[in-house]
Amino acid sequence: MKSVLISGAGIAGPALAFWLKAAGYEPTIVERAPALRTGGYVIDFWGLGYDLAERMGLIAEINRIGYHVREVRIVNDAGHRVAGFGTAVFSELTAGRFVTLPRSTLSRLLFGKLRDSVETIFADEIVALEQETDCVRVVLEHAGERRFDLLIGADGLHSPVRKLAFGPQSGFEKRLGYAVAAFEASGYRPRDEDVYLMYGEPGRMLGRFTLHDNRTLFLFIFAASAFPDTLEAQKALLRDLYGRGGWECRKVLGELDATDELYFDSVSQIKMQNWSRGRVALVGDAAFCVSLLAGQGSALAMIAAYMLAGELSASQGRYQQAFASYEARLHSYIDAKQRGAERFAGAFAPRTRVGLNFRNLVIKAFAIPGLARLAVGRDIADRIELPEYQWPALDRLAAA
């Protein structure tokens, strides 16, 4: 019981490969994209995800590359500040262990730990799978048939492994009524270093975040019921929704015209009763996407990867027992995170002018000393502990 195929090289996939390798397993990763994905959006990173990155030998590099945001600022049509808050409270509550970085950077750093030790197949994907008594037989579109002891789907919100092993997306996806789009542009002005700017109209918000190397990230979150799947249709929808907006909306749409890399997706959660079936299990967004509204999906993906590898190692080959313990440790914790995200759903892009004003009032109240700590304190703390497992090869991998 040693060979494990992992589908997906985002966050959960490389993290799982790392811990499996540290436990003495032989993971193989298959990733549909021809190379690790770049661009996208930035994530906030703290708590147990941060602790795990430290154990993996990544934290110095994460802090060197990452951003330490000073302020979240909500602006009006004219770009004037109408609300906002300093982010010192996050730093205080986490003892300075809070950083913002591009998701793709985290993915690259995780993968960098495996580059020379884990077989990785890019530009390929599983198109069929069959569970046998002693293995899982998969068919890769290009590489053909392979056999592994176990198969783990770490292939995100639209997980193809979930579809093949558990059934169609519609049986597990809960849409929260919003869509999200993000892209990067070079040379955009103005720049506001370490400030997250947000502009809102009823049912839609636009965020701007200044990146290193003269780049800027734009994030759109808006109420949606239709989700176009071609780049041109997605751009047309954004032009339609933001074309008459104030602040920098039109300028940002000008940048959008020139991009051919747009991240676009539904704001959704994945809810499943079980994360495993036979020799196949899921991890990260594939199993339990909490949505961007939980602000912690990457950390949860890393925590789940750590626990899944740890339980497999502890069970000494009894994979059914390992999968059951993995779910038992994590499921109710994830359920609570999902409920929290659903409660928060209205706040990102309130659908009415009254809702928008109320949201801004609440955010203004964050400036009152102590209140911000009270408001975010409950959600920022991880109410779960990392179990300790045996990792014979950890030191060598962490130092790589």
Ligand X SMILES: Cc1cc2nc3c(=O)[nH]c(=O)nc-3n(C[C@H](O)[C@H](O)[C@H](O)COP(=O)(O)OP(=O)(O)OC[C@H]3O[C@@H](n4cnc5c(N)ncnc54)[C@H](O)[C@@H]3O)c2cc1C
Residues whose CB is less than 8 angstroms from the CB of residue 313 and which lie 6 or more positions away in sequence, other chains included: 23, 24, 25, 389, 390, 391
Residues whose CB is less than 8 angstroms from the CB of residue 358 and which lie 6 or more positions away in sequence, other chains included: 350
Is there binding between residue 56 and ligand X (CB under 6 A)?
Answer: no
Rounded to the nearest whole angstrom, what is the least distance from the CB of residue 100 to ligand X in the complex? Answer: 7
Is there binding between residue 241 and ligand X (CB under 6 A)?
Answer: no
Cα–Cα distance for residue pair 327/24, rounded to 1 Å = 22
Residues whose CB is less than 8 angstroms from the CB of residue 369 and which lie 6 or more positions away in sequence, other chains included: none
Is there binding between residue 43 and ligand X (CB under 6 A)?
Answer: yes
Rounded to the nearest whole angstrom, what is the least distance from the CB of residue 253 to ligand X in the complex? Answer: 19
Which residue in the set 4, 12, 252, 312 belongs to the binding site for ligand X (CB under 6 A)?
A: 12
Q: Residue 82's closest CA among 361, 400, 339?
A: 361
Instruction: Closer to ligand X by CB, 156 or 245: give it.
Output: 156
Is there binding between residue 284 and ligand X (CB under 6 A)?
Answer: yes
Binding pattern for the stretch 286-315 against ligand X, x by CB under 6 A and - elsewhere: x-----x--xxxxx-x--------------
Which residue in the set 25, 41, 188, 209 belongs to the binding site for ligand X (CB under 6 A)?
A: 41
Rounded to the nearest whole angstrom, what is the least distance from the CB of residue 361 to ligand X in the complex? Answer: 24
163-202: contacts with ligand X (CB under 6 A): 180, 182
Instruction: Closer to ligand X by CB, 30 or 280: give it.
Output: 30
Number of amino acids touching ligand X (CB under 6 A): 34
Q: Which amino acid is at 82?
A: V
Question: What tokens were used for 248?
Answer: 């920098």
* Contact present, 181 and 233 (Cβ < 8 Å): no
The 3-state DSSP composition of the chain as helix, strand, coil percent (nearest 5) reads: 40, 25, 35
- In this structure, the dihedral spanned by the alpha carbons of residues 303, 309, 310 and 314, taken in order and rounded to 10 degrees, is 160
Interface region with ligand X, contact rule CB under 6 A, candidates 2-10, 52-60, 187-195, 230-238: 2-10
Is there binding between residue 282 and ligand X (CB under 6 A)?
Answer: no
Which residue in the set 23, 47, 69, 103 belongs to the binding site for ligand X (CB under 6 A)?
A: 103
Instruction: Closer to ligand X by CB, 66 or 284: give it.
Output: 284
Cα–Cα distance for residue pair 400/395, rounded to 1 Å = 9
Cα–Cα distance for residue pair 378/380, rounded to 1 Å = 6
Is there binding between residue 31 and ligand X (CB under 6 A)?
Answer: yes
Residue numbers at the binding site for ligand X (CB under 6 A):
7-13, 30-33, 37, 41, 43-45, 103, 125, 154-156, 160, 180, 182, 284-286, 292, 295-299, 301
